[in-house]
Structure 1
Amino acid sequence: MAPVTRLLGGEKYMKKTTKRRFGALVVGLSLVAAACGGSSDSDSTATPGGELEGMKGTMPLVNLSAEFKDGLNAFWTAAGNTALEDYSYAAESFDSVMLVALAAEAAKTDGSALAAQIQAVSAGGEACSDFAACVAIIAAGGDVNYEGASGPQDMNGNGEPINASYGVLTFGADNRFKYEDASYVLADAPESDIVPNAEVTVERKGDGVLKIGSLLPETGSLAFLGPPEFAGVEYAISLINAAGGVLGNPVEYVQGDSGDTSTDTASTTVDRLLGENVDAIIGAASSSVSLTVIDKITAAGVVQFSPANTSDKLSTYADNGLYFRTAPADKLQGAVLANLIAGDGAATVYIMALDDAYGTGLADAIEANLTAAGVKVVGKKIYDPKATTFDAEVGEIKTANPDAIMLVTFDEGSRILRTMVEQGIGPKDKKVYGCDGNMGNALGENFDSGK
């Protein structure tokens, strides 16, 4: 049977017609491995040891075009920043801004009513990927279907993508992975998950000037995601303003740090952004951080749009119709990871996950899909990410002696891996898997430096 071609992010992806069902999701394996995301600078940083060699993991990933990466980096470095080494969630951040701006044009307001147009501009109309071209369609009375840098971005009624592309990445002998060696998995939510558009229940009038704030990690456990996310937001705003802005005025921007859940940084930042009368806040990156501020943001009639939240809790959260995300829900990644682990022949798995909404949610999704696939989960340890050592937790994994170990972590994952290597159950001894919370070359850098 001929392979099926699917368009993602402007690039053709080949998907096998044979599909394997995991839980409620259908996952199709891609047939291509192509350049994606990383720069040559990132890939060439060699370090001794190779203790992470063979570790695999997934993250939401598409084959970013050279045009997008070059334009993003040129903009970012021209602003005085260091060239990007990783592009994690850069495109999702870019698309979040584009969707807000197009929705404001469609709604003819920067007030809360723009939220009712976000799903509409993401699907169903005339395809466009350039802001000016999309605005021209709207001005002519047409409907647009924004095709983003991170993929089609066809949104469900609850404000999240109904399909996703994941990259499968493998660490090499230099404790780094190469984006160009990625393979891809396409995952789609089942039809039963498709829901009507949520009603916007808080009215906030606009003033004709779209003002966007960011709530992204300059500090904290996800700070490694900050540069590409800030770059994506600011690059999108620059292109929008170069095309004439929104509602006839330049888009204004206020930057903010989200920190992590160990501080009150996010709440303080949100208070400042709301005080500056922003219309939309891009962030947070962490699902748990978003859950600490979502009520405050949406009660004010302000759109919250995350480029990286994946917790399933946010799919049905009472958000006044004002919360959106360009990152897919964990139920999709859970199926992809289970597919990967089962496909590698593991019969038993131990899951170690951080204790927050993201960690426990993704761990549950992985466990459910592994069980459905006939793979036995011999243990699931939910740990405190602020712990100073992980000897006891890793010792429990060693005693269980699983075929594979699934790590759902943030930056503390490097210390967990160091302990695993010391106890003889590292990636050279066991099948070890990561996820979007830890799969970046920062993991290898932190491991090598002892962080």
Structure 2
Amino acid sequence: MLVSRGSRTAALAACATILLATSACGSDKPEEGTAQQVRLYGTDGNMLNSFPAELKDHADLVDGMKGTTPLTPLPDEFKTRLRSVAPDLGDYLYAGETYDAVMISALAAQLAGSTDSPEIAKQVVGVTNGGERCEDLATCLSMAREGQDIEYRGVSVTRSGFTEVGEPATTSYGTLHFDGQQLNDGKTEFVGAGDESAASTKAPPKGKKQGDGAAPGTPLVIAGLWPKTGDLALAYPPMAAGAALAIKEINAAGGVLGKKVTWIEGDDGTSATKAKATVAELIDSGADVIIGAASSGISLAVLPETVQAGKILFSPSSTDDGLTTAEDKGLFFRTAPPDSLQGRALADVILRDGSQRISIVARKDSYGEGLQAVVKAELEKAGIGTDRLKLLTYEPPEGESAPQLDFGAGAKEIKDFGSDAVLVIGFGESAQVIRALADAGVQIRH
């Protein structure tokens, strides 16, 4: 259901919404002798059904944890199609965004009449704006083969198209809840964000009819840059499924420019070093479009390489605000919304619970620190003073052989601060933050 920002802000003002133990209405100190309970909050990097397993025998610590993620209500038939390529799929995070990123890339290539990356890039934004609307692949491809201007609407691209810099003008967020060590879909709330007027109105180059473009026998090559290993590996299955489904359906519908699309895949290892090496391999293998990376930090790290090679980097899940203004020569796109939108939604979720002393723990990278800064600013706008906010960061482990994250000192700081809410912005490794809180004697509210 949709929940308005106004109603949640009003709820904050009501003393009755302050659910945690406090000495009096408006006080930020717990009653003497009463153990302070802490609400846990998460973000798209850890609000997955696969996340509790990272806590092993303490998986129950996540029960009651809330968080947000860019999320559009997924039709059951789309989930069924995803399971046709990934029968054991347990999460759907960014599956729709990945599917749409591949579809938009294919449609842009068809309209460009070329597999040349810069020519494809000129069509990407226009594919989502201004033409005749189409909502299924077969229809969209048929129109594109005739060189017809289209307005693609898919799984995540629903309300409006891309801005001129190639990212969603509007999006939808889901508020997720962990119950019984899994996400309770019955409690998920959806809220829209963004501004439809921000969508580009610039006309793309006129589309070419099939046969007027790429040389015969030249297939479109799309590659995946995925966290098959590393701290974000728990997010790999749904994105891989979204890409596999898109490629399967594109080729079943006749492919692009008369040829089946070729798919190749690489592992970014949730590591900038590994990702750069993988990107070089993908480019050498002939990739025209690289779908990825999953992490904002990885996307920022490899963007100079993809730009220098003249290749498109199209991320379904990199949300760092800095990517909006990154030097990309018009070759970076994303179906994921910027964190300026997620930060507002996340702050609203925390404020609805009446939290008074809030700690925000983040990975020390562009994603973690960027989202941390946005949430802090939104909380301050709502009247939470800096004296009631504590910001902490941690260095994420680099590589599979790196020592496990030790957050003991940070956990003690949070306990001494008297936090009644802790937001954890991270990936799989953030389970160690939650474990450290429990080990430090922080009483987590379930």
Give me the TM-score of the superposition, normalised by structure 2: 0.80
Residue 419 (str. 1) matches residue 429 (str. 2): no
Q: Is the 8 A contact 1:417 1:426 kept in 2?
A: no
- Residue 92 of structure 1 is aligned with which of 78, 92, 97? 97
Distance in 2 separating the partners of 1:388 and 1:332? 29
Residue 240 (str. 1) matches residue 250 (str. 2): yes
1:147 alignment partner in structure 2: 153
Letter in 2 for 1:50: D
Q: Which runs of 5+ in 1 are unaligned?
A: 1-12, 23-40, 78-82, 430-451
Partner of 1:301, secondary structure, is coil
1:304 alignment partner in structure 2: 313
Residue 320 (str. 1) matches residue 337 (str. 2): no
Q: Is the 8 A contact 2:2 2:192 kept in 1?
A: no
Residue 70 (str. 1) matches residue 80 (str. 2): yes
Give 1:334 deviation, angstroms: 0.4
1:289 alignment partner in structure 2: 298
Give 1:294 deviation, angstroms: 0.7
Give 1:251 deviation, angstroms: 0.3
5 Å-filtered alignment, 1:17-416, equals 18=6, 50-77=60-87, 83-111=88-116, 112-152=118-158, 154-172=161-179, 174-189=180-195, 207=215, 208-261=218-271, 264-377=273-386, 378-386=389-397, 388-416=405-433
Distance in 2 separating the partners of 1:170 and 1:426? 18
Give 1:206 deviation, angstroms: 5.7
Distance in 2 separating the partners of 1:327 and 1:49? 29
Distance in 1 separating the partners of 2:291 and 2:153? 19
Give 1:129 deviation, angstroms: 2.0
Letter in 2 for 1:401: G
Distance in 2 separating the partners of 1:166 and 1:303? 26
Give 1:321 deviation, angstroms: 0.2
Q: Which has the larger radius of gyration?
A: 2
Q: Is the 8 A contact 2:396 2:429 kept in 1?
A: yes
Letter in 1 for 2:394: Y
Q: Deviations over 1:289-332 (max 9, x none)?
A: 11111111122111110111000110000101000011110111
Partner of 2:62, secondary structure, is coil
Letter in 1 for 2:263: Y
2:18 alignment partner in structure 1: none
Q: Is the 8 A contact 2:5 2:348 kept in 1?
A: no
Give me the TM-score of the superposition, normalised by structure 1: 0.80
Q: Is the 8 A contact 1:221 1:410 kept in 2?
A: yes
Give 1:240 deviation, angstroms: 0.3
Give 1:110 deviation, angstroms: 1.4
Distance in 2 separating the partners of 1:56 and 1:251? 40
Distance in 2 separating the partners of 1:389 and 1:42? 21
Classify 1:426/1:196 alpha carbon distance in 2 versus 1 (closer, same or farther; 3 Å). farther
Moved more, 121-130 or 358-367: 121-130
Classify 1:426/1:275 alpha carbon distance in 2 versus 1 (closer, same or farther; 3 Å). farther
Moved more, 239-248 or 403-412: 403-412
Give 1:244 deviation, angstroms: 0.4
Letter in 2 for 1:248: G
Letter in 1 for 2:228: E
Q: Deviations over 1:364-415 (max 9, x none)?
A: 0000111011123421012112263111011111111123111111111111
Q: Is the 8 A contact 2:164 2:200 kept in 1?
A: yes
Give 1:14 deviation, angstroms: 4.8
Letter in 1 for 2:346: L
Greater than 6 Å deviation, 4+ residue runs? 19-22, 45-49, 193-200
Letter in 2 for 1:383: Y
Distance in 1 separating the partners of 2:442 and 2:2? 36
Larger RCO (CA under 8 A, 6+ residues apart): 2
Distance in 2 separating the partners of 1:194 and 1:239? 27
**How many positions carry a matched residue from both structures?**
387
Distance in 2 separating the partners of 1:17 and 1:59? 16
Classify 1:316/1:216 alpha carbon distance in 2 versus 1 (closer, same or farther; 3 Å). same
Q: Is the 8 A contact 2:111 2:147 kept in 1?
A: no
Give 1:140 deviation, angstroms: 4.3
Q: Is the 8 A contact 1:216 1:285 kept in 2?
A: yes
Distance in 2 separating the partners of 1:121 and 1:240? 16
Letter in 2 for 1:186: G
Partner of 1:127, secondary structure, is strand
Classify 1:215/1:367 alpha carbon distance in 2 versus 1 (closer, same or farther; 3 Å). same
Letter in 1 for 2:89: L
Q: Is the 8 A contact 2:343 2:371 kept in 1?
A: yes
Distance in 1 separating the partners of 2:202 and 2:64? 43
Q: Is the 8 A contact 1:53 1:427 kept in 2?
A: no
Give 1:42 deviation, angstroms: 8.0
Partner of 2:270, secondary structure, is coil
Distance in 2 separating the partners of 1:131 and 1:206? 21
How much is the aligned-residue C-alpha RMSD, in angstroms?
Answer: 2.8
